[in-house]
């Protein structure tokens, strides 16, 4: 808060300063605060949830100030600048480690805690260098260049560069071009800047370096504080790199479980698939689908649901999909395929997961499509006739991975021209809104009845939209929708 005399003496400058700082806030609400601090006034623009949004670097004010910068506390970011009051005998703090009421370690500890929170707030290895540089400037130095070593050769090109004067960044980048940065750290001279090189070391590996530059020499306490920031920055970078490597490997394995190719044109068939695994980082979950040529003028399709979600369920997904393809192309009928898949899952022992599965063989015939279907405990497959009649078309049998003695029989289903077959997983039928499920009172059949005359793609899109609109919160279950329409 400010006293009246303090506000009046710097009113015009403070208003201009507040406007400049507010102009650099990211989109969203923010708070402007003026604080009377002894012989100075500090203007702050505080914003929540902006720690990683947009440019988080400080912007040089257009009015004379004693000190300025950006500070972070959890998810809060504050652009601030201090104006000296007319006639003040003292000088507003110019060292980044000073407290609001005098020099001491508390200011440093607060800043270190804020920096640690900000570094811990991201697992994006491309964001870490930017955060490091913008933590260091202007608190530690006038400019900062962060280098990362992508391989043993050590590319000497800054991953991120920041300067208190944005207009000098391009010139600084040219000055740094080709500069040999020592992995072990040290100091050097670059033009009119004294440069402090802080190695980024984690788990015995050199991940890069943080180069700090300022016109005057670095004091011993500043060197010590820079080392503290460097150690925390290195750990944050190491964690982000490990996370990125694991995420990349996980996604590569998940992609390998998706159907490898389009089956191409299937005579007399219009088909569509919607597949959405639960979780932000999953490409494959416990639900799966497939549509492929089985030879001898027939095609196979499958839609299944493994118990659980995520990578563990995806492992069983891979076993099921590959077994279906292999046995189908070896000439096994749909019932025999499920019997052998059941045994394969049981042989997995403790890693086994039970699953539901609808597996079918598609054969074009002059009057439409002939399907041989087996449902192993799967949600009902529905047939839509051109007159709007919807009916289940397959008998549910034992689910897979539970009973060794389970035997299966195929149902013969005919799709006349214009008939639609809809197969879904329980991510659709059990979509929940409070105590109500989407498929209560035949909800899915009612949705399908509204799809008369639509293409397979339009039917799949309408069902998907209905699932999304049924409840406001994101679904916690995987979802697969397969639509087959006889042309």
Tens digit of pLDDT for each residue in 398-448?
999 999 999 999 999 999 999 999 999 998 999 998 899 999 999 999 999
* 375, two tokens: 């449902």
Q: Which helix (H) or strand (E) holds 215?
A: none
| DSSP class per residue in 233-269 | HHHHHHHHHHHHHHHHHHHHHHHHTS--S-----TTE
3-state SS class at 356? strand
- Evaluate if residue 250 carries a pLDDT over 80: no
Q: Please count the other Cβ atoms lying within 10 Å of the Cβ belonging to residue 295.
A: 11
Beta bridge partners of 143: 163, 213
- Evaluate if residue 318 carries a pLDDT over 70: yes
pLDDT band at 75 (very low <50, low <70, confident <90, very high): low
Q: Give pLDDT, residue 332.
A: 94
CA 41 to each of CA 35, 88, 107, 120, 400: distance values in angstroms, whole numbers, following the listed order: 6, 11, 18, 32, 72
Residues 6 or more apart whose CB falls under 8 angstroms from that of 15 comprise: none
Tens digit of pLDDT for each residue in 182-193?
878 899 999 889
CA 72 to each of CA 3, 114, 193, 290: distance values in angstroms, whole numbers, following the listed order: 27, 5, 27, 49
Exposed (0-12), middle (13-18) or buried (19+): which is 203, by Cβ within 10 Å?
Answer: exposed
* Domains and their CATH numbers in the chain: 1-94 (no CATH), 96-256 (3.30.450.40), 260-486 (3.60.40.10)
Exposed (0-12), middle (13-18) or buried (19+): which is 47, by Cβ within 10 Å?
Answer: buried
Beta bridge partners of 275: 480
- 397: nearest Cα among 411, 377, 412: 377
- Evaluate if residue 156 carries a pLDDT over 80: no
**pTM exceeds cut of 0.85:** no
| C-alpha to C-alpha distance for 259 and 193, rounded to whole angstroms | 57
- Evaluate if residue 361 carries a pLDDT over 90: yes
CA 441 to each of CA 119, 322, 360, 438: distance values in angstroms, whole numbers, following the listed order: 51, 36, 27, 9
* 174, two tokens: 């040219």
| C-alpha to C-alpha distance for 314 and 317, rounded to whole angstroms | 5
């Amino acid at each position: 808060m400010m006293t009246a005399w303090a506000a009046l003496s710097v009113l015009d400058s403070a208003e201009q300063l507040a406007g400049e700082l507010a102009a650099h806030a990211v989109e969203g609400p923010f708070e402007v605060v003026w604080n009377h601090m002894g012989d100075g006034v500090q203007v702050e623009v505080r914003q929540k949830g902006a720690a990683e949004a947009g440019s988080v670097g400080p912007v040089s004010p257009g009015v004379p100030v004693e000190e300025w910068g950006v500070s972070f506390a959890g998810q809060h970011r504050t652009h601030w600048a201090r104006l000296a009051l007319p006639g003040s005998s003292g000088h507003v703090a110019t060292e980044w480690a000073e407290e609001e009421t005098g020099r001491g370690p508390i200011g440093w500890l607060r800043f270190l805690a804020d920096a640690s929170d900000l570094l811990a707030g991201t697992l994006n290895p491309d964001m870490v260098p930017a955060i490091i540089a913008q933590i260091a400037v202007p608190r530690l130095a006038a400019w900062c260049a962060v280098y990362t070593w992508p391989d043993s050769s050590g590319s000497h090109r800054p991953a991120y560069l920041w300067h208190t004067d944005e207009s000098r960044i391009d010139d600084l980048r040219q000055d740094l071009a080709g500069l040999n940065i020592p992995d072990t750290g040290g100091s050097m001279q670059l033009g009119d800047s004294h440069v402090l090189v802080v190695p980024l070391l984690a788990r015995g590996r050199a991940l890069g370096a943080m180069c700090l530059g300022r016109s005057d020499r670095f004091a011993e306490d500043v060197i010590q504080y820079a080392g503290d920031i460097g150690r925390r920055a290195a750990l944050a970078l190491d964690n982000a790199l490990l996370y990125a490597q694991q995420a990349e490997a996980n996604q590569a394995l998940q992609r390998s479980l998706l159907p490898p190719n389009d089956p191409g044109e299937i005579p007399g068939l219009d088909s569509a698939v919607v597949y959405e695994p639960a979780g932000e980082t999953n490409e494959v979950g416990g639900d799966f689908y497939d549509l492929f040529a089985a030879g001898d003028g027939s095609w196979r399709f499958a839609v299944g649901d493994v118990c659980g979600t995520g990578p563990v369920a995806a492992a069983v997904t891979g076993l099921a999909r590959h077994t279906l393809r292999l046995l189908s192309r070896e000439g096994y009928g749909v019932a025999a395929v499920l019997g052998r898949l059941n045994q394969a899952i049981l042989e997995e022992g403790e890693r086994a997961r039970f699953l539901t599965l609808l597996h079918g063989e598609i054969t074009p015939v002059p009057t439409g499509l002939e399907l041989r279907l087996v449902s192993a405990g799967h949600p009902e497959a529905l047939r839509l006739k051109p007159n709007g009649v919807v009916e289940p078309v397959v008998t549910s049998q034992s689910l897979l991975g539970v009973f060794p003695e389970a035997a299966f029989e195929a149902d013969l289903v005919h799709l006349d021209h214009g008939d639609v077959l809809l197969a879904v997983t329980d991510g659709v039928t059990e979509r929940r809104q409070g105590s109500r499920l989407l498929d209560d009172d035949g909800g899915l059949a009612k949705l399908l009845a509204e799809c008369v005359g639509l293409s397979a793609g339009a039917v799949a899109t309408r069902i998907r939209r209905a699932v999304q609109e049924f409840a406001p919160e994101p679904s916690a279950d995987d979802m697969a929708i397969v639509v087959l329409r006889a042309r």
